[in-house]
Amino acid sequence: MLIKTDKGLRGSTQADHDAWLKFKRRLETMKPGTWLRMEWARPRHGKHHRKLFALLNLVAENSETYDTTEKALVAVKLVTGYAEPAIDPRTGELVQVPQSIAYDAMDQDKFDLFYEAAIDGVLRYILTGMDRGTADRLMEMIIEGWG
């Protein structure tokens, strides 16, 4: 991950910065005609991504059914309808398969919609006794605890 600064690109962590510097040095030593394949993406807003993981932690801490963030993520994807139908080959039944919310699978605009649907779905179907204000306060406490 890179961040654009007034001094140019810089890695978002020390490891990212070290990898960026290594890549820059490698570019300098490449011979003309050398092929290079690259992929890049503008990632979603990091703070917003942390808010989703705070929501998943909130669900895991307050649900016996979805007691891990992994289970909570599957539940959130299903409650938002962010899934594709598939036929279970063992039973012939139609099941919902959650889609990816990876950075490269969902841009910030789609993520905004997903996040709002996630909050609404969690409060309506999973943490039914919790209101939005309480959920927001608890998620802020979770984020603060991460430092």
Q: For residue 103, is pLDDT > 80?
A: no
Q: For residue 147, is pLDDT > 80?
A: no
40-86 pLDDT tens trace: 766 677 788 889 999 999 999 999 999 999 999 999 999 999 999 99
Per-residue pLDDT at 136: 97
Give the integer Cα–Cα distance in Å for 137 and 69. Answer: 19
Provide mean pLDDT across the span 82-94.
97
- Band (pLDDT 50/70/90 cuts) for residue 105 is confident
- Judged by average pLDDT, the poorest of 15-29, 31-45, 103-117 is 31-45
136-146 pLDDT tens trace: 999 999 999 98
By C-alpha distance, which of 103, 101, 79, 136 is closest to 144? 136
Per-residue pLDDT at 72: 98
Q: What percent of the chain has pLDDT over 90?
A: 73
Per-residue pLDDT at 67: 97
Per-residue pLDDT at 4: 87
> Which uninterrupted H or E stretch holds 26?
helix 14-29
Query: 65: Cβ–Cβ under 8 A, 6 or more apart, which residues?
Result: 71, 75, 126
Per-residue pLDDT at 3: 85
Q: Which residue has the higher pLDDT, 21 or 2?
A: 21
